[in-house]
Amino acid sequence: VKSGGRGAYRLFDQAMRERQAMRRLIERDMHLAMEDGQFVMHYQPQIDLASGKLIGVEALVRWRHPERGFISPVEFISVAEESGLIGPLGEWILTRSCLDAAQWGGIKVSVNISPVQFREPAFAAKISRILSETELFPWLLDLEVTEGVLISDTEKVLDIVLLLKKLGIGLSLDDFGTGFSSLRYLQKFPFDKLKIDRSFVRDINSDVKDAAIIRAAISMGRTMGLRINAEGVETEDQMDQLSAMGCDEVQGFFYSRPVPAEDIPALIDTDFPI
Ligand code: C2E
Ligand code: CA
Ligand code: CA
Ligand code: CA
């Protein structure tokens, strides 16, 4: 038993070391990747369930590594946050997304903002500068934040949020339902949109509890004047159920995977199934 325990520990230790080595590689390569243009933005369509039209897209960053192929943002965003690279990377993501959206004439772009980025000094001023540099109307930009952004320094964060709202941009609460105290934040911060996490959408047709949570979120959001987006819609049955519940908009593989910017114009006049 004792040696088994040590064996298990050795395995764990080795996995930890490999993980750390991987993170160091990612950190080292990220500097180069920025200059070399290895990051690209993809955009996932957001469909209005009332009209079946494209109303916006979520901007999702991809890293095309020359040797390791596509690396998931789940792997490199946290490394970027820890190493300080999220500053320049986040600015590039925002600029690229706003430049692309400015070409689409009326389609909104939602950009994910990490907690570290949000707390940068003069974050609101940076957004304002990027909007004027890219000539994007502020109402076409939406920032997606998770509870992680709001959890500490609440008053300071509220000040930043109010500055952003004054610019006229939209604010969405991402991954709703996965945290611990979303309801307090919904009351305190002036969100425009609530994004229901895909873990609730997955079993919406079979799990009465997941369905009940979504129904409650939609009802509450409606009362608070929020738009409701459901993520991770993969089947027509999920879409039908969400539509029947009064969900405003959806995104997911049923409609489209995230696609390159040049694929978006063709989707603007498409009638999606609703
Ligand atoms: P997220 O913000 O919740 O983004 C949605 C994720 O769900 C995306 O994964 C998207 O490709 C995936 N997805 C969309 N529809 C479906 C579906 O129908 N089924 C399933 N199974 N998945 C679906 P992705 O692009 O790998 O991004 C993962 C996470 O990485 C994002 O989660 C976000 O937290 C972070 N991320 C991505 N891009 C950025 C970025 O530009 N900046 C920051 N700060 N974080 C980003
Ligand atoms: Ca998001
Ligand atoms: Ca999400
Ligand atoms: Ca239908």
pLDDT digits (tens, 9 = 90+) for 92-139: 999 999 999 999 999 999 999 999 999 888 999 999 999 999 999 999
Ligand 1 close to Cβ of residue 232 (< 6 A): yes
Burial of residue 8 (CB within 10 Å: 0-12, 13-18, 19+) is exposed
pLDDT digits (tens, 9 = 90+) for 218-241: 999 999 999 999 999 999 999 999
- The residue whose C-alpha atom lies closest to atom 8 belonging to ligand 1 is 60
Ligand 1 close to Cβ of residue 93 (< 6 A): yes
CA dist 180 and 124 (Å) reads 27
Ligand 1 close to Cβ of residue 114 (< 6 A): yes
pLDDT digits (tens, 9 = 90+) for 77-92: 999 998 889 999 999 9
Amino acid at 161: V
Ligand 1 close to Cβ of residue 45 (< 6 A): no
The pTM for the full model equals 0.94
Ligand nearest, relative to CA of residue 43: 1
In angstroms, what is the span from residue 231 Cα to ligand 3's centroid? 7
Compute the C-alpha angle 161/167/171, nearest 5°.
45
Closest CA to 116 of 77, 169, 161, 168: 77
In angstroms, what is the span from residue 118 Cα to ligand 2's centroid? 14
- Residue 269 near residue 50 (C-beta atoms within 8 A): no
How much is the ipTM here? Answer: 0.97
